Amino acid sequence: MRGGRAARGATGATGIERVLARWLVEARSTSRPQLAIRLLGMLCAWVVPLVAASSHQLSPVGFTLVVLGAALAAVRPEPAGGPVALASLAAYLLVAPRDPTSPVVLVVAGLVVVHEACVALSTTAPSPARLDPRLVRRYAERCVALTAVAAITWGLGLLARSVLPVAPVAVVAAAVLGVAAVAWMTTSNRSR
């Protein structure tokens, strides 16, 4: 019995109970802007399986992973929440049907970009702190720019498929580098 008390500490709480209690305190002290950003990111991740529905036998497991990963990212965006959510989205999308010519690909890309931006933005300040509106605007601009780059790349890919029977590697590489250069110019730090 003494060993059990020593493991539980002076308060009688186990390690898991202490962690859960700390998370509850953090959740209560989270600022409204932080809460809004975290919920937006979680909802974007949850919508991905609805937009990219899958009939694969592993899709319920993938859907469950997305829901849990997104919830973890909302509660604890760092150190593990963001990577776990991204990995769960990737696992789900591996079993989702892949039609690269469907515009659904762009919707999914936009949702993933917004989700990851929300996770990154929520880690820029402690949870009780208010987010800097300029930083929120910059992240929103980057989401728009990255989603636009995805749409341009998707369109160039469709065009290349219709014009060229087999796109040479040099053409594809040049297109990707061109789009990446535009993305870098639109999202790089510049004076405001």
Residue 119 shares a structural domain with residue 166: no
Contacts (Cβ under 8 Å, ≥6 apart) of 78: 123
- What's at 39, amino acid-wise? L
pLDDT digits (tens, 9 = 90+) for 115-162: 999 999 998 888 888 889 999 999 999 899 888 888 888 887 788 777
Residue 126 shares a structural domain with residue 141: no
Residue 145 shares a structural domain with residue 166: yes
Residue 68 shares a structural domain with residue 148: no
For 84, the token pair is 């776990």
Residue 34 shares a structural domain with residue 126: yes
End-to-end C-alpha distance for the chain, whole angstroms = 64
Q: Model pTM? A: 0.73
4 in a structural domain: no
DSSP-assigned letter for residue 124: S
Q: Which long-range contacts (CB under 8 A, 24 or more apart) does 85-88 make?
A: 85/41, 85/45, 85/115, 85/119, 86/112, 86/116, 88/45, 88/62
For 80, the token pair is 């593990």
Domain count, the chain: 2
The range of the structural domain enclosing residue 139 comes to: 132-192
- For 14, phi then psi, to 5°, come to -80, 170
pLDDT digits (tens, 9 = 90+) for 4-62: 544 445 555 677 777 777 766 776 778 888 889 999 999 999 999 888 887 776 778 88
Cα(58)–Cα(60) distance, integer angstroms: 6
